[in-house]
Amino acid sequence: MAYRHYHVVGLVLGHLAHGESNRLYQVLTPDFGLIRVLAQGVRLEKSKLRYNLQTYHLVDLDLVRGREYWRLTGAAKIGLANSLQVAFGRKLGSVLLRLIHGEEASAVIFTDLKRAWDLLAEKPAEIDPEDLEIFILIRLLANLGYLASSEVSVLILASQDFTWSDVSAISSKRSALIRVINASLLSSGL
């Protein structure tokens, strides 16, 4: 029986030990949404893939669909992540795991995360990365249907290909945006 191989880009959000030498990764992809990927033998010292599957990093994955999980056949890191990118992934990863359930294409969400990832790679010194987190959270909640459009969030949702100038424009409205995010999460029950 021939298996169909898939090549996808993903953001590794977390992992769990699975058996003696395996790991089960949670990966957000643009085509399949949040998927669970089983990497066999990746905890062994001789594994070639173990360093390519670091949490909160962007990776290129080669996968085969299994009954319960996707099976990993190959992986490669996309560049080296800096400390800002890893901290950003850690903070948003926990929110993403709470809000996204099941496999559903999420190209818009992944594109926003990828754009934020690229902005953090070139971060100017005068920009606050917390503004970017708030910016992305508003976009994420709106795309998932947890946030209604308001006068505070309309500028954030209007820009498709955002830049640092778009992100820094929200710094004066930070407290109002945090209240909107908290109210949205509270009303969602998550």
Task: Tell me which of 74 and 128 has the higher pLDDT.
Answer: 74
| Residue type for position 79 | G
Lowest mean per-residue pLDDT among 74-83, 122-131, 133-142: 122-131
- The dihedral built from the CA positions of residue 77, 80, 85 and 87, taken in this order, carries a sign that is positive
- Residue 185's H or E segment, with its range, is helix 174-188
What pLDDT score does 55 carry?
A: 87
Give the confidence band of 34 by pLDDT, cuts at 50, 70, 90: very high
105 and 30 Cβ atoms separated by less than 8 Å: yes
Phi, psi angles (nearest 5°) of residue 108: -65, -45
More confident residue, 60 or 154: 60
Q: What is the mean pLDDT of residues 151-169?
A: 81
Q: Which residue has the higher pLDDT, 160 or 131?
A: 131
- 147 vs 89, residue with greater confidence: 89
- What's the confidence (pLDDT) of residue 25? 93
Residue-averaged pLDDT of the chain: 87
When pLDDT is averaged across residues 135-163 and rounded to a whole number, the result is 83
Q: List the end-to-end C-alpha distance of the chain, in Å, as a whole number.
A: 42
